[in-house]
Chains A and B, each alone.
Chain A
Amino acid sequence: MDWSLVMLLAVGCYGYKAGGVLASKKIKLSEERERLLNYVAPAVLSGLIITQTFENEGQLYVGAPAAGLVAGALAAYLKAPFPLVLAIAAAATALVRLL
């Protein structure tokens, strides 16, 4: 990561917030548009889960990170707090790597 990326992230993410707040008096989103925007986060989050678990140099692969994901997802499903979910996922991956 370099500073230009940090800056673009900051400008972009603040831009949404400020843009929304400043436009709130003039714009009212249609229900349809608002619903579409609400669908974006779940789609992209699951895209991140898939690519970061099952992609290796442009190829599909199943390895230690998959074990981490299964263990962590199970912990999250059982309502474990966030840091514990991460710790369990990390530990499961490290364990599989050791084997």
Chain B
Amino acid sequence: MFNRVQAFWSQSHKRDGFALGLAVGTFGITFGVLANAAGISDLMAVVLSLFVFTGASQFAAVGVVNAGGEPLTALGTALLLGARNGVYGLSVGRILPVGKFKRLLGAQLVIDESVAVSSLQLDDRDAREAFWVTGLSVFIFWNLGTVVGVLLGDVVGDPRTWGLDAAFPAGFFALLMPHLRSQEKRQSALWGALIALAAIPILPSGLPVIASVGGVFIAAFASSLRRRRS
């Protein structure tokens, strides 16, 4: 047992994946607490983490419900945010095993973390191992964290007293931060924010956040102009 642990730990791609999963567990706890604060049942929160299993989309759906938004808005924003997993699937599908069952099982683990660690590897075998170790580790700790979070939320009491109902936007900012390093994504974020801001007094509630996706096209247009000029 000890030898196997040591062997596992000596391979950096497995070690990194495992450690990342452990860190994501704390996200899971906050997801459980906030889902509870949004008035979502414990069972629903746990089912979301098991079957939706993509953090930003889950936070978005729960955040919209928390803000009193329509179910369609919750679904729309979550699906807009989940679309990138489709792109990940296209790239990581190449290294997944051939069997259909394993591919479909592995598909659920296609998320930011597993794809990031996997794409850092130099050969396909390491990439595949990194994908499974990271994906499974994130899956296990994200779900354990959710359970701990909803139980913790039950103890906390009225979320408004603690301001927990207002913690979502800061959480979205933390999720947005890594995107701000690239100039194009920064512009997309900026235009998305401006569109949402302008849309609030004009469009019916629930649509401004969907409209923010228009920022994508302005950012793309601006970047193509820049490239043409240089």
Contact = CB atoms under 8 A, between A and B. Distances in A.
Contact of A19 (B89, B175, B190): B89
A88 B220 CA distance: 35
B170 to A, nearest CB: 2
Contacts of B89: 16-24
Interface string B205-230: 10011111111110110000000000
B96 A21 contact: yes
A93 B170 CA distance: 11
B169 A49 contact: yes
B81 interface: yes
Interface of A: 1-6, 8-10, 12-14, 16-25, 27-29, 34-55, 57-60, 64-65, 68-69, 71-73, 75-77, 81-83, 85-95, 97
Given A9-B48, A21-B93, A16 B83 contact: yes
Contacts of B161: 94
B125 interface: no
7 contacts: A10-B52, A17-B85, A17-B108, A17-B110, A41-B56, A49-B193, A50-B200
Contacts of B189: 42-43, 45-46
Q: What are the 7 A-B residue pairs with the smallest beta carbon separation, nearest first? A: A20-B89, A72-B170, A47-B212, A24-B93, A43-B192, A93-B163, A89-B170
A48 B63 contact: yes
Contacts of B62: 1
A49 B220 contact: no
Given A1-B44, A76-B177, A53 B169 contact: yes
B75 A27 contact: no
B74 A5 contact: yes
Mostly, the A contact residues are helix
Nearest to A72: B170
Given A82-B27, A87-B167, 8 more contacts: A9-B52, A18-B104, A20-B110, A34-B87, A44-B80, A46-B190, A51-B200, A75-B170
Contacts of A22: 89, 93, 103-104, 107
Contact of B208 (A28, A51, A81, A91): A51
A39 B188 CA distance: 6
Given A5-B74, A17-B110, A20-B86, A42 B166 contact: no
Contacts of B217: 36
B99 interface: no
A20 B174 contact: no
Given A40-B81, A50-B196, A86-B30, A14 B212 contact: no
Nearest to A95: B163
A41 B190 contact: no
